[in-house]
Structures are given as C-alpha cells and as structure tokens.
C-alpha cells in the first residue's frame, strides 16, 4: 500500500511539468488554445462526437463543453452540425484547419519531448516504454482510444509497440 502511495505521488508530480510542456508548445503555435481545448480537438480528430460524449470524455459539464466548443468554433477549428439520423442531436466535427492545428501541435510537442528523452540510455528508454504501457492499461487508454479515437494515444501506442 505504501509503495502505491509513493508511486501515485511521483506520478502526480510528473503531470504538471508534462502539461506545462504541452502548454508551451500550444503557445508556440500563436493560437490561444488551452490544453483542455486541445484535448477536445484531439478527441474529434477521427470522428465527430456529440456534446454529451465530449463532455463525458473530458469529465466536464455539458454547459462547460458547449462553451469550449463555441470558442473552438469561433476560431474555425470545429463545426457543429445536426445529426442526419436524429435532428435533435448536434454533432461536432473538426474542420480542416482544426486537423492541421492538431497535427502541428502534436508534432511540436512530440519533438520537444523527444529531445528531452534523447539522452536516456536504451535501457532507460525501454523501462520508460514499459512504464507507459502499464499506465496506459491502468487508465484504460486503449479502451478510451476505441471510443474517442484519441489521436495521440493511438500514435504513442503504435510507436512504442511497433510489433503489436
């Protein structure tokens, strides 16, 4: 139990610097996107979702998600459309500029983090990959990837497991 608490503490200490790195890369694009807005765009990368799905995926209220989508729509990154099978449902999809923004930010963040990892020994890189695989399973990232088409998770999983 104590080992788990220490590991949890270490994990929680790592999250803020990782998010700060992502936020720095977001600022480099010249867009005033927050990490949460970027996360929504990533969730929309492969397929449209309705507001309820997005709110649930992001762990926020429906009004909060609606506000986030409004800001992204004003920037031209997403578009709201009515579901063709149920006109009561509003679907949100990423626009071409939105897809380009996700790709640009992902490339910048990937490049930055990759440069931070360059000096690791092959053994440490393998250990890190194993640890990230364990975390992915603990947080059900593979399951999230299936229902939210999480672009970054799919990319990371593919790159860390080229044979699987």
Domain positions in the chain are 33-160
- CA 21 → CA 24, 36, 123, distances in Å? 5, 14, 24
Asked if the model's pLDDT at residue 153 lies above 60, the reply is no
The secondary structure of residue 91, as a DSSP letter, is E
Rounded CA-CA distance 140/28 in Å is: 31
Asked if the model's pLDDT at residue 101 lies above 60, the reply is yes
The whole-number pLDDT of residue 151 equals: 43
Q: Is residue 143 a contact partner of residue 136, using CB atoms and an 8 Å limit?
A: no
pLDDT band at 157 (very low <50, low <70, confident <90, very high): very low
Q: Which region, left, alpha or beta, applies to residue 76 given φ > 0 means left and ψ of -120 to 50 means alpha? A: left
Rounded CA-CA distance 140/44 in Å is: 18
Tell me which of 3.40.50.720, 3.40.50.300, 1.10.10.10, 3.40.50.620 is the CATH number of domain 33-160.
Answer: 1.10.10.10
Digit-coded pLDDT (tens) for 20-39 = 888 887 788 777 788 889 98
The larger pLDDT score, comparing residue 161 to residue 57, is at 57
- Give 128's contacts (C-beta < 8 A, 6+ positions apart): 117, 120
Ramachandran angles phi, psi of 146, nearest 5°: -65, -40
What is the reported pTM? 0.72
The whole-number pLDDT of residue 73 equals: 97
Digit-coded pLDDT (tens) for 5-18 = 998 999 999 988 88
Rounded CA-CA distance 45/148 in Å is: 9
The whole-number pLDDT of residue 106 equals: 87
Asked if the model's pLDDT at residue 81 lies above 60, the reply is yes
H/E stretch holding 4 reads: helix 2-28
pLDDT band at 141 (very low <50, low <70, confident <90, very high): low
């Amino acid at each position: 139990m104590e080992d788990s608490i220490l590991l949890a503490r270490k994990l929680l200490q790592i999250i803020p610097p990782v998010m700060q790195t992502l936020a720095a890369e977001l600022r480099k694009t010249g867009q005033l996107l927050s990490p949460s807005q970027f996360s929504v765009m990533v969730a929309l990368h492969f397929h449209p979702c309705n507001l309820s799905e997005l709110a649930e995926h992001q762990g926020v209220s429906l009004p909060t998600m609606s506000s986030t989508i409004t800001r992204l729509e004003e920037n031209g990154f997403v578009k709201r459309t009515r579901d063709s099978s149920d006109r009561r449902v509003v679907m949100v999809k990423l626009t071409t500029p939105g897809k380009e923004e996700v790709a640009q930010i992902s490339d910048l963040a990937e490049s930055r983090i990759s440069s931070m990892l360059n000096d690791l020994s092959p053994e440490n890189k393998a250990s890190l990959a194993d640890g990230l695989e364990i975390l992915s399973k603990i947080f059900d990232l593979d399951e999230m990837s299936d229902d939210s088409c999480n672009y970054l998770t799919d990319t990371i999983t593919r790159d860390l497991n080229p044979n699987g």
